[in-house]
Structure 1
Amino acid sequence: MWNTKAWDDVRMFFPDNNNRSRVLLTTRELDVANYVDSSSTYHQMHLLNKYESWSLLHQKVFGKDDCPPELEKIGRSIASDCGGLPLAIHVICGLLSEAKGRRGSWEHVANDVKAAIAEKDKQFSNILSLSYNHLPYLLKPCFLYMGAFPEDHEIRASKLIRIWVAEGFLKSKGDKILEEIAEET
């Protein structure tokens, strides 16, 4: 939950019938948590420290394998720049996995992360935009089509594939039907 208005919009669907129902709410905004119910206790998650951040990045990119020595310093810097946010680290790991251990690519990602965190109020959305910026140009229109759906809306893969086929985002390959190509992609 990002703001108090979102809670007001959702709350109307929860009647107060004294039946002891509970709602689990997650937010990074302390003012939203207090607005929802200042008398309730809440669990505040901690940010990852630099060691936990590096451990998560290392595990997501390399699994049980060792990190090549020429990438470790860059990797630790990237992990630290993610500000202890596990989701940000996960997003960046996707980019690093695509870089396939090339030092120059890792340095490029590191520079992008540093630029993304420069604006504190837009830090997280800037990090997410990095994953879009690093998509192959053929996939960018497919990703942008997600904006046609309401936030938190469940999107059926079959529906999305039909839309992409209709838009011409998928090209024929031999005698395979376009839906099969989408499933492989």
Structure 2
Amino acid sequence: RGFALYTMRSQDISRLYLQVPADEDIENWPDDRIWDELGHRLGTVKAGNVYEKGITPMRSYVAKPMQHGRLFLAGDSAHIVPPTGAKGLNLAVNDVRLLAPALTELIRHGATERTDGYTTAALSRVWRAQDFSNYMTQMLHDLGGGPFQQQLQLARIDYIARSEAAAHSLAENYVGLPAEPDF
């Protein structure tokens, strides 16, 4: 049936994801069908109002360099990760954390060292997040590889459940690696 995710946004509102084929038409998914499918994939789920629904493409993209002259890219304009790893906003914040002092030095002092190093500094974290999102996608989504692929996915999940080191690595990557010192 594919991947399903249930995340709490507040005490009263949740965000739920269902994996469907990329060419699926959202009109084929009335609210009742969504709740029925969530029940199959997640077990008992309390149905409620559906405020928004859409088909989210699972894609990845990285621009390099993340600048052209004095035009700088940050966030989704520079890199897109699949939502499975939940890294998009964190990466955007890190880009701005790196770019703000770099632009301040450029504007106030004409210093270009930080703006020149922006792409390199930002992309080290971006590629780590891309790898993690790819790892999570391969582990949690139905990739259409049949029983062999499903057993590989179960083996990976079992390893995380049984290995403290694997669980620690997953948690570290999920919450985000520590911010790099300023460059």
TM bracket (short chain): 0.3 to 0.5
TM (normalized to structure 1)? 0.34
- Higher-RCO chain (CA-CA 8 Å, sequence separation at least 6): 2
Query: Quick check: which has more Rg, 1 or 2?
Result: 1
Q: TM-score if structure 2 supplies the norm length?
A: 0.34
Greater strand proportion: 2
More helix by share: 1
